[in-house]
Copies of this chain bind each other. A is one copy, B any other.
């Protein structure tokens, strides 16, 4: 990479504050940046790094107007602007050209869209439908009657079982399993009998699902992942869970059966949510939280059992006061003893 700051600014509709002729030779995070690097600040939390970074130029929001050494490029959304530059300077993305590899095994009555790319050792069962420009990575398995939309990118070794519906522009990372049986048994005299899981999984448009995720099929009806939902690695989504549009589920989260997650919810890493409850729109579940009851909309809960964040913080504050409390009680005891003696 070798570009002047003013050229960078042009690409991202940015306004330059400082020397617009500095030459940028790389991109990097603000902490790791070296002279010559372009970096960015998206979160005001890291604002003080403006004064310590060695970067030569920083993409910032419109409200940031000065730094110590670096030239600033003001834009509406620094993350998106930086992403644009990154795709510009990054290595050529790997492209899988259209075509069906001769080793792919494709069942009867399969409908393949225009310009699909079916990589080696893919197995596609009967009656599958795949939309235009979708890429099916090496060794993927797609079960009977499953439908996948347009422009999807299914990475190697993904397993999508039968009768699943997946929308358009969905990305699924390697090793993920969609449509495994829900975990349901009827126990008679200590023996667990399998309950058939005759439902399915339906995934909306623009969903991204990480690596080695598991999304179970419904007992009946469907497990549902709304449009624009983003799911990180190693997440467990049980049967009949419903996730509203644009929610974000971070790594290693587990959501139990039949729970309903609203829209624009954020569930941080390793949180767990019990079954048959509702998490309202725009709520935030803290990392490692254990959610045991309904969460209203627009609520931030943390801890286990999860409660509202302010309540959880107060709880921890009280706990921290315990040593002091013990000391006080000891003093009170002594005072009372004195009073009792005098009184006696």
**Contact for A234 among B208, B214, B318, CB less than 8 A:** B214
**With contacts A236-B233, A336-B339 known, is A174 near B183, CB below 8 A?**
no
Chain B CB count within 10 A is highest, among A156, A188, A248, A335, for: A156
**Contact for A193 among B80, B91, B220, CB less than 8 A:** B80
A124-147 vs B: 1/0 string, CB under 8 Å? 010000000000011101011000
B256 and A233 contacting across the interface, CB-CB below 8 Å: no
B228 and A192 contacting across the interface, CB-CB below 8 Å: yes
Q: Is A8 an interface residue (CB 8 A)?
A: no
Q: Is A246 an interface residue (CB 8 A)?
A: yes
A196 and B336 contacting across the interface, CB-CB below 8 Å: no
List residues of A (51-93) whose CB comes within 8 Å of B's CBs: 77, 79-80, 82-83, 86-87, 89-91, 93
Q: Is A3 an interface residue (CB 8 A)?
A: no
Closest CB of chain B to A332's CB: distance in Å? 6
Q: Is A151 an interface residue (CB 8 A)?
A: no
Q: Is A240 an interface residue (CB 8 A)?
A: yes
When distances are taken between beta carbons in the complex, the residues of chain B under 8 Å from A27 are 220
When distances are taken between beta carbons in the complex, the residues of chain B under 8 Å from A310 are none
When distances are taken between beta carbons in the complex, the residues of chain B under 8 Å from A125 are 94
Listed by A's residue number, 23 A-B pairs whose Cβ atoms lie within 8 Å are A29-B258, A32-B221, A42-B186, A79-B186, A79-B195, A86-B195, A87-B196, A94-B143, A139-B157, A175-B212, A180-B210, A192-B248, A194-B208, A234-B254, A254-B269, A269-B272, A288-B304, A319-B322, A321-B326, A325-B325, A329-B329, A335-B340, A343-B343
Sorted from nearest, which 7 A-B pairs have the closest CB atoms?
A90-B198, A79-B186, A159-B174, A214-B233, A177-B211, A180-B211, A141-B156
